[in-house]
Amino acid sequence: MAMWGSRKQAAKVTGPAWYVHADGGDSAGRVPKGYIPMVLVGDGEDNEEGQRVLVNISMLREPCMAALLEMAEQQFGHGQRGVLRIPCSVTHFDQMVSAMISKAAS
């Protein structure tokens, strides 16, 4: 079972962290204040493990994040149990976040 990153790990990220890969930590199950745990499951296959990430709540205002949430709703429905699964690859998610950061900086 994977562990969520700790507040200390989230604080290591320079500047306001849009998201953090949650691939380990000393505080299993803890999610830092202001973050939402999600699992990126690529094409959305139910048997896929996925990459766990902690997403800053400020990202939820972004149109591309809203589109991902709508895709998750369509694919998995409102009745998801546990961590919110997002049908998006890690590579695509990284590119999306980089584009959002670039847009915010300009």
pLDDT tens, the chain, 106 aa long? 333 444 444 444 434 566 677 665 545 568 888 999 999 998 755 555 788 999 999 888 999 999 999 999 999 888 878 889 999 999 999 999 888 888 878 7
Measure the CA–CA gap between 6 and 72, rounded to whole angstroms. 26
Asked, for residue 19, whether it belongs to a domain, the answer is yes
Asked, for residue 2, whether it belongs to a domain, the answer is no
Q: pLDDT at position 48, please?
A: 58
Q: pLDDT at position 17, please?
A: 64
Q: pLDDT at position 12, please?
A: 41
Asked, for residue 1, whether it belongs to a domain, the answer is no
Sheet with 19-21, edge to edge strand ranges: 19-21, 51-56, 35-40, 84-86
Q: pLDDT at position 20, please?
A: 72
Q: How many domains does the chain have?
A: 1
Asked, for residue 40, whether it belongs to a domain, the answer is yes
Asked, for residue 65, whether it belongs to a domain, the answer is yes
Q: Which domain holds residue 48?
A: 7-105
